Structure formats: structure tokens, C-alpha cells
Amino acid sequence: MTKTTDDPDLLIAHYLSDSLTDVQAEQFLALVTSNAEIAGRFRDNILIDFLLQEQGEIQIKEEKFRLASRSTAESSEPSWDELVRLQNAERPISAIVEEYRQAKAARRANLYSAKTVLRFAQKCFWPSRHDFEESVAPVVTLLVVLLVLVTTTFVIIEHSLRPEPRERITTLARVNETIDAVWEKSSPSYKRGQLVNSSSFRLQSGLVQLEMNNGTTLILEGPAELTLSDAMNAFCQSGKVSVHVPKAGHGYELDTPFGSVIDRGTEFFVDVSDATSTVQTVKGKIDFISSANEIFSLFANQTIKIDAEKAIKPTSGAIHNSYYNKTAFDLKVQEQTKEILHERTESNAFLTDDPSLLVRFSFNEPWRKTIDNLAPEGRKLCPSAQITGTKKVEGSLANTTAVQFSDAKDKLQFYYPGQYNDLTVVAVVKLDGNLHLDNILLSSWNNDNEQAGHLLWQITRLGFLKVQLSKKDNFGSDAYESAQFYRKPTRGIWCCLTVVFDSQQKKIRYYVDNRVISTSDWDNPQPIVLGDTVIGNTLERATATDRYFNGCMEEIMIFGRALSETEVRRYKLY
């Protein structure tokens, strides 16, 4: 038995979805030929169906599309029969039915085109092309505007939720080490680990080692002035520069006011001054091209001197004794590291021995799958933390180690009980590249938290420090944000980040390198809960690809009180 229905909207829906049976088709045709209201709804639905199909694969799910019902009393439109007569007085109704069936058959054969049905609707409903265009134009305009608005909104929302694409970081070199470096006032003060592009270095005194992307190292001894031109070229205006060139940098060129030194697989240095300048080969071979285009090939321990008149005198003899070559420089760095670590240990004892210190993880200490809590009192409640993934890398000083987070699975996890009215968290970190949507430093937050006060501390994509404290039953959070502290020129630099929760003053203070960068009002202080805590990611989304910390960490500490500004300023971490 064939199922029938008297619901015109259901029949229209069956027609548009190609599920109208022959019996239902005859029934539907009878309805639209006898009822102007149903005919109008049928016409509007066909038009909408056509426009949607023209715009692409847009599906209307679950709900039937209905236009507002038209009152027969209010309708001034002609009836179906009148429309047919106006269209073609001699055209019998049987011809219209046949055209309808042909259009339906085409749909079933997957040859259906919305234009075919629209042409059928046009013939049935609009007497002339002029009337058709006048009727359709406003509807088309409205639907196009709506589609543009919906599409634009979707693109904006989708873009805001999408993790930021990994931007390619283009740099020429890295400041490897500095020893007692004092910079001229006209020069930026470069720090160890800083990534640089085409930059000028004006060193008043001390030593600085630069490493090019191809592995070539340059050691400056102040006073000196050097400009990086590109990956294979630099210009030394004055001072002493030692150059060590690996195979990947073969052909490196160092220009001076009196000529150019071209590497042929070697180690060499230059000493540029107004009186007498020196070029010497330490190992291998170089070519020196004078300003007069004279070419000199120098081998190991060979030297040329250039006087103020640019006269060149080849000599031979011992290497310049007052200069740091790469080996001597590395030894000097090791001595400096020992001195700094000793000074740091003594200087920081007033806090590292503080009984309010809950957690202290130093990644310069031995660690593998676990790391010991170095807090004297805190270790009694939390002896260690578990480490997942990560890898050891060089720390803020030569011959020290840090932990690198470079994957969503990299994290450190520990448990610390209790609630704290005040809290201070300190972390020594290096941001290696582009920031994610969120870069979580520490989190005690997860979806199962019913207790208020769980903490989330992160760096936002735009370089702000942000903290969030959960509300009871995980119903939202209170969020606070610092001023911007991180920008592209500071990539690769170690810095000390501190956040202080002070319930007495109802303030949250943010520090970068022991300086206050901003404060937030903490109007409704609540006890802060650690519990299950993760460093480098979050319990809530432990494998989130857009929230894990992308960088290195040398040390992290948590105090169960608010450190004063004086205490923060006294603390030396790198």
C-alpha cells in the first residue's frame, strides 16, 4: 500500500529531497492547483532550493525549512489555474504535469539541476521574464547578503580558534657567549642566546662570541665594531675578531677598511686599527684581497700587516699572544660559569633555604625520569616530580643544563597538598620560537576540579603573562593579565618570569627579570590550590597541540607566600 499524506509542507520536503512517490506527486499536484497559499509556499521553497544549490554544498539538517504561512485572505496572488492560463492559454495542465515528472526523473537519475526545476517553477508561477526578475531580484539580494554574513562569521570564528601557523624565523646568528661584555651606548645590549639578523655590534670592552647559522663562529674583543651583512659576510670597522670556519661555511668573507679576508677552510683573526692592522692565519689557508686588488694567500701561522698608508708587509711568526682564539675563549667561559654559579648559590641562599619554599626544581641538577624537589621543607610533602618526554639542552650558562618542551606530550607532573592565601611562582625560561594560542607554564587545572582556586599560568600568543583561578565546581574562572613583555626581537633570550599573588594588598604582581611590568587588582582573593600540578602543559588537555609550552626551562620555584619586591629584585637566577 502506498503511503499518502495531506501535509503540504511534508510533500514539499519530499519533493526537494527526491522522495516523493507517484501517488504523492498526484496528490501534491492536486493541492497546488487548488490552493494559492500552498502554491506560493511551493514556489518559494523551489527558489530557496535553487539558490542554495547554486551556492554549493549546503545542507539543511534535522529541521524542515518553512516560510511564514501566508493567509489566503491576505494573498493577492492569482491561483494556479490563473497562472497557467496567463503563461500559455493553450497549454494544457497535462503538459505541466509531464514537465514536472521529467524534472523529477532527472533528479532520480542524478542529472537534476536546480536550474531545471527553477525553469519549471518560472513557467508555472511567473507569467513573464520581466515579472520573474522583479520577483526574484529582492530575494536573491537578501540571500546573497545573508550567505556572505554567515560565511564571513564562520571564517572569523574558525580563524580565531585555529592555532597560529608556525612562522619561519629568519636569523643570521646567535649570541653564543658573553664575557664581561660592556656595550657602547649607541649599540643594543645583546644577551647570551639572543638571535640576531643584520646587526651592528659596538663592544666597548669584554668578549662576545657569535655563531652564524652555518656554524661559523666570530669572537669579538672590545673595543670593536662589527656588522653582520649576511650569512657569509661581515664587516669589521675596528677591533679584534677571531673567525673559525667549518666546512659548511667555506668561503666566508670578512671585510675591513683595508681589504677582505676570504676563508679557504681555516681559522684566522684580524686586528683592525688606525695605525697598524693585522691579518693572521691560525690554521689552514685564507686569501687576502687588498683595497688595491692585490691578492695574498696565507697559510698557517703566516701574517700580514697593513700600515696607515695601507702598505702591506707579509711576515711570519708566533700567533698574536694577546688574543682569544676559540680554545682560549672556551676555557675562559668555563671559568666564568664556575664563578657565576658560586656567586648565585651564595646570593640566593636567603630564598632557597626559605621554609615557605614549597617546590624548587633545578634542571641543572641530575635528572632523568624524575627530578628531586630541592625545597628544604617542601620536599617532605613532595619529594620529586615525574618527567614525561622533554630533553636536556644547554642552560643559561655554558656547561649547564635545562629542560626543553617541544611537543604536546612533554611535561613535568607533581602533587602538592594544601591551600595558600598567598603564592609566588618563579620560572627561568627561554622562548625558542613562535608562541601558541596559549603557552602553559604551570597548571593545577582540570575538568574534574570541584574546588575553587586551581591555578593556570601561561604566556599568551601576543606575549602577555596570564593567570586564571578556577571557580567552584569548575564554573568559569577569574582571569588576570600582565602588560606585554615578549616580542620577536627577544626570541632565544633567557628571562626570569615571576607572578606574585598578594591577598593582603589584593594585588597580583608580574615581574620580568626582577622588574615589575604591571599589576592586576585581585578584588576577591581566594585560597590557591595546587594538588595535581603540571609544568609545561595542563591536566585538562595534556596532548593539546596549541597550549603546551614551547621553550626551555632552567628552574622553577613556588613559594607559599607573597615575595616582596625587594626579595624578587635580590634573586639571581641566570
DSSP string, 473-529: GG--EEEEEEEE---GGGTT-EEEEEEEEETTTTEEEEEETTEEEEEEE-SS---EE
**What is the spatial distance between Cα 531 and Cα 536, in angstroms, rounded to a whole number?**
16
**Is it the case that residue 135 has pLDDT exceeding 60?**
no
Angle at 492 between CA 491 and CA 495, to 5 degrees: 95
End-to-end alpha carbon distance in the chain: 86
**Is it the case that residue 167 has pLDDT exceeding 50?**
no
Helix/strand/coil (H/E/C) assignment for every residue in 525-542: CCCEEEEEEEECCCCCCC
pLDDT at 57: 34
pLDDT at 121: 47
Q: Which three cell numbers stand for residue 15?
A: 519533493
Calculated CA dihedral for residues 101, 103, 109, 111, nearest 10 degrees: 170
Other beta carbons within 10 Å of 69: 11
% of the chain surpassing 90 pLDDT: 33
Location of C-alpha cell 574562572: 477
**What is the spatial distance between Cα 465 and Cα 486, in angstroms, rounded to a whole number?**
9
From 94-103, 176-185, 202-211, 334-343, the region with the lowest mean pLDDT? 94-103
| Choice between 485 and 70, residue whose per-residue pLDDT is larger | 485
Residue 32: band (very low, low, confident or very high) from pLDDT cuts 50, 70, 90? confident
Residue 425: band (very low, low, confident or very high) from pLDDT cuts 50, 70, 90? very high
Other beta carbons within 10 Å of 533: 23
**Is it the case that residue 78 has pLDDT exceeding 60?**
no
**Sign of the CA dihedral with 329 first, then 330, 335, and 339 last:** positive
Average pLDDT, the chain: 77
Q: Which three cell numbers stand for residue 80?
A: 494556479
List 260's β-bridge partners, or say none: 255, 289
**What is the spatial distance between Cα 567 and Cα 565, in angstroms, rounded to a whole number?**
5
Q: Report pLDDT digits (tens) over 493-531.
A: 788 999 999 999 999 999 998 899 999 999 989 899 999
pLDDT at 93: 47
**Is it the case that residue 474 has pLDDT exceeding 90?**
no
Q: What DSSP character marks residue 425?
A: E
Contact (Cβ atoms closer than 8 angstroms) between residue 547 and residue 440? yes
Q: Report pLDDT digits (tens) over 207-216.
A: 999 999 888 9
Calculated CA dihedral for residues 193, 195, 198, 199, nearest 10 degrees: -40
SS3 category, 560: coil
Rounded to an integer, the average pLDDT of 3-11 is 68
User: What phi and psi values does residue 147 have, to the nearest 5 degrees?
Assistant: -65, -40
Calculated CA dihedral for residues 404, 409, 415, 418, nearest 10 degrees: 90
Whether pTM exceeds 0.85 = no
In terms of phi and psi (left: phi > 0; alpha: psi -120 to 50; beta: otherwise), the region of 150 is alpha
Kindly provide the b/e burial profile for residues 47-64, where b requires at least 16 CB atoms within 10 angstroms of the residue's own CB.
bbbbbbbeeeeeeeeeee
Q: Report pLDDT digits (tens) over 217-226.
A: 999 998 999 9
Residue 144: band (very low, low, confident or very high) from pLDDT cuts 50, 70, 90? low
Q: Report pLDDT digits (tens) over 259-315.
A: 999 998 889 989 998 888 899 988 899 999 988 888 899 988 889 998 888 888 887
Question: Which residue spans within 138-272 are E strands per DSSP?
Answer: 173-183, 195-196, 200-212, 217-230, 233-244, 253-256, 259-263, 267-272
